Chain A
Amino acid sequence: MLVWCPDWPVIAAGIVDGAPAAGPVAVVGDNRVIACSPSARAAGVRRNLRKRDAQARCPELVVVPDDPARDARAFEPVVAAVEEVVAGVAVVRPGVCAFTARGPARYFGTEEAAAERVVEQIAVECAVEAQIGVADGTFAALLAARLGRHVPAGRTAAFLAELPVSALERPALVGLLDRLGVRTLGAFAALNPADVLARFGLDGALAHRLAAGKDDRPLAVRSPPPDLEVEERPEEPIERVDVAAFAARALAERLHEKLAAYGLACTRLAITAVTADGRELHREWRHDGILTATAIADRTRWQLDGWLSTRVYGSRDRRRLAVGEESQLSNKNKPAGGIVLLRLAPEGVLAQVGLQPGLWGEAGAERDRAHRAMHRVQGLLGPEAVLRGVLGGGADPARRATLVPWGEEYVPASPDGPWPDRLLSPFPVLLPAPVAVEVTDLAGVPVAVSGRLALSGIPALVSGVPILAWTGPFPLDERWWDVRRGRARVRFQVVLGDGRQLLLEHHRATWSAVADFD
């Protein structure tokens, strides 16, 4: 028995990208139409048509690019809906799944009743139209589904015999058979199998067996993915951090046991809490290695601590902590009424193959010792107090080394690349908050830099300290296309009489010292 959702790529595009499935839609890949909606078909759009021809036939056609991953993703709920009703479902391709008819037929009485039940389930769960075909073998069942036929057991060969050879979906073979005068599957099946194998090769022999209704390939039944989420509904809403920590610990251990039972380990963890006033708080934690039970418990505790008390970790250093939304804690306002539901879901899992110690000791005892110490400091000060640098790209030296909380995924704020405006070696050792300075020439007149990088005088003093040597101007016009975030600056490097070398920036007629080569 086979479930076929007609024009699946179009429907998937409608589900995932919101393409209007009612109007004329065509999914196009390699400049050819792969699938189209019924209204597009009515306008004359056909499969394998060139994109331009399709648009000529139907000017209001909505063209969606082909994406097999999107099709597969959208089909997952349909398969899950079918699995609710029957067992042992095999996905043939996105839009088509098959299962053996005998079990459901006996359970629901007849094959028709089972088919009706499955179609109803898909319609209710996913609001997707499906057709069912029943025949011996997947190939015949797909043809039966397209024709809306129910082929009784043992009549498959007779059903196939009337169909044209083009149903084999092998253009080269079909063209050849057509020229040889073999027009129907029945005529093809009547040929001697040995001759077919000798003339058309292995694939031809397989097609011959399909045409004869001898499709005896077993179904590749998928095993439904295990449900790895754990959740806890405390009897009383959690309002205190210590109670939350206790709940987190128990929940973390349950999750860890569940993962261990499947031989999996977690790299990304999603924590969801539902508050008494019905709000849902959600945050994902990333981790560079594998989250252990303790690490899961800690992250849950930190998160609940953050949600229950209005404290924002690491807010003092938010400017330099370019980690993105990952570390933006969503605790602007305290949840009212405490937490009534707590859920942990592993977002990223991988097969646990045991801890692999490093050959040169980078993952050895010293690493463990350091990690334990860091862990304790994170417990003392909060997770975002212990940082690690990751080198990336950028024009500013501060941006090139991104600070990431220890234990999270180490991704630089901006990727490495050519970055023509970047500072070259040596790099500044101290990057404090910019300090306004005054740059003047020998007469004490402030030095200005024009839009054409002309200096109004020779820089001689920085806030009264003589300049021994200077280099510049180095223009730095970042994000000139962005009105709000764009910033045109001019950089200078100066060596001062007191032995310091500074990186100065000139921006809108003001000078500031942004880095010190201390």
Chain B
Amino acid sequence: MQPAALSDLVRRASDLGPAAAGLGTDRLLPVASQLRDLLPGYGLRRGSTVAVAPGAPGTTSLLLALLAEASRAGSWCAVVGVPALGLLAASELGIALDRFAVVPHPGPEWPAVAATLLDGFDLVVVSVKDIAASVCAQLAARARQRGSVLVPFGSGWDGAEVTLSVTESRWYGVGEGSRRRITVAARGRGAAARPRRGQVWLPGPPVEEETQRLRVVR
């Protein structure tokens, strides 16, 4: 056999699907293919905490893109404390609005609200800003116990398994039909200790004909 033919048979372990890698797929919620490589186990593991930290513009879009695939596959999502969220954009990014609850103003009792929602929703986004470590630990424990995914959105969250942040954002075009490519950095602990980086197109990867037309705005 020729060496060239042999090399076709050899594949990297990371190219194998989660099933082949021996991970519990039933414990995973799917994510968009563009984000798969950034997460340990190539999905959102139930019971884990995946934080989205502020960075370059595009953070909110990244958050919605992270939820989209799971929502489309039938998961229920809730967002606590993001009052200005544009639901039209959420729907465009692939979130099913009939399984999407918004609590724009949770007030001072937001940890109780988040804990309650973790009981019933697969994915709960909580807008946070420099909160006490004890509250972090309590909510993370609740998510672990209930098998939901907690997504802290904002700065100052300690102890997330993975923290995603946008490091660079570039627009291709302006106005109607424009797209953007964001560079997402993932850091974390355990299986995600090795920092990873990936590029994500929003609202989705450009189609073949579009790539000719797209010009970066600089």
Bound pair (A, B)? yes
B109 within 8 A of A: yes
Interface flags, B69-111, vs A, CB<8A=1, else 0: 0000011101000011111111110000111111111110100
* C-alpha gap A493/B177 in the complex (Å): 12
- Check B88 against A397 for contact (C-beta < 8 Å): yes
Contact residues in A for B84 (Cβ distance below 8 Å): 430-433
Tell me if A499 and B171 are in contact (CB < 8 A).
yes
**Is A371 interfacial (CB 8 A cutoff)?**
yes
Cβ B178 vs Cβ A426 within 8 A: yes
Task: Give the distance to chain A from B29, nearest Cβ to Cβ, in Å.
Answer: 12
Contacts of A495 in B (CB 8 A): 171, 174, 178, 217
- For A, the interface residue count at a CB cutoff of 8 angstroms equals 56
Which of B57, B117, B173, B179 lies in contact with A500, CB distance below 8 A?
Answer: B57
Residue of A nearest to B77 (CB): A370
Q: B116, A376: Cβ atoms under 8 Å?
A: yes
Option from B57, B74, B85, B105 in Cβ contact (under 8 Å) with A498: B57
A154-162, A253-261, A379-387: which lies at the interface = A379-387
* Chain A residue nearest in CB terms to B107: A381
Name which of B10-18, B33-41, B119-127, B131-139 contacts chain A.
B119-127
Decide: B116 and A426 in contact? CB cutoff 8 A: no
CB neighbours (8 Å) of B176 from chain A are 424-425, 471
Tell me whether chain B's interface is mostly helix, strand or loop, or mixed. mixed
Interface size in chain B (residues, C-beta < 8 A):
58
Bound-state CA distance A493–B118 (Å) is 38
The answer to whether B113 touches A361 (Cβ under 8 A) is no
CB of B199 within 8 Å of the partner chain: no
Q: How far is the CB of A24 from chain B (nearest CB, A)?
A: 55
Indicate if the CB atoms of A493 and B57 lie closer than 8 Å. no
The reply to whether the CB of A400 lies closer than 8 angstroms to some CB of chain B is: yes
Are B116 and A377 within 8 A (Cβ)?
A: yes
Question: Residue on A with the closest CB to B120?
Answer: A373
Partner of B174 from A389, A390, A494 at Cβ < 8 Å: A494
B-side contacts of A380, CB under 8 Å: 109, 112-113, 116
The B178-212 residues at the A interface (CB cut-off 8 A) are 178-180, 202-203
Within 8 A of B (CB), among A384-404: 385-391, 397-398, 400-401, 403
Cβ contact within 8 Å between A427 and B92 = yes
- Of B20-28, B43-51, B59-67, B154-162, which binds chain A? B59-67
> How far apart sit A373 and B113, CA to CA, in the bound complex (Å)?
9
In the complex, the answer to whether A366 meets B175 with C-beta atoms within 8 Å is no
- Nearest chain A CB to B84 CB, angstrom units: 4
Residues of chain A within 8 A of B99, CB atoms compared: 362, 370
**Assembled-state Cα–Cα distance A335/B102 (Å):** 32
Closest B residue to A406 by CB, please name it.
Answer: B101
Min C-beta distance of B78 to chain A, whole Å: 8
Judge whether A311 is part of the interface by a CB distance below 8 angstroms. no
Residues of A contacting B100 in the complex (Cβ-Cβ under 8 angstroms) = 388-389
Given contacts A377-B116, A401-B87, contact A387 B174 (CB under 8 A): no
Residues of A within 8 A of B98 (CB): 362, 388, 410
Could you say which of B104, B113, B119, B177 contacts A369, with CB atoms under 8 Å apart? B119
The answer, among A316, A373, A518, for a CB contact under 8 Å with B57, is A518
**In the bound complex, CA of A362 to CA of B90 (Å):** 19
Any A CB within 8 A of the CB of B218: yes
List A contacts of B64 (CB < 8 A). Answer: 429
Asked if A429 and B85 sit within 8 Å, CB to CB, the answer is: yes
Check A430/B74 contact, CB under 8 A, given A397-B88, A468-B218, A471-B174. no
B168 contacts across to A, CB distance below 8 A: 499
Contact A387–B103 (Cβ < 8 Å): yes
Q: Nearest Cβ in chain A — how far from B146, in angstroms?
A: 10
Flag whether A455 is at the interface (Cβ < 8 A). Answer: no
28 intermolecular pairs with C-beta atoms under 8 Å apart: A317-B105, A362-B98, A366-B75, A366-B122, A369-B120, A370-B101, A370-B120, A374-B78, A374-B120, A380-B112, A381-B106, A388-B98, A388-B100, A391-B87, A400-B88, A406-B101, A424-B176, A424-B177, A425-B176, A425-B203, A426-B202, A428-B89, A495-B171, A495-B174, A498-B57, A499-B169, A501-B171, A518-B61
Interface residues, chain A, with chain B CB atoms under 8 Å away: 316-317, 360-362, 366-367, 369-374, 376-377, 380-381, 385-391, 397-398, 400-401, 403, 406, 410, 424-433, 468-472, 493-495, 498-501, 515, 517-518
17 more A-B residue pairs beyond the given contacts A429-B90, A470-B174, with a C-beta to C-beta distance below 8 A: A362-B99, A366-B122, A377-B116, A381-B106, A381-B113, A386-B102, A388-B100, A389-B87, A403-B102, A403-B104, A427-B86, A469-B171, A493-B174, A498-B57, A499-B169, A499-B171, A515-B86
Taking beta carbons and an 8 Å cutoff, which residues of B are in contact with A?
56-61, 64, 74-76, 78, 83-92, 97-107, 109, 112-113, 116-122, 168-171, 173-180, 202-203, 217-218
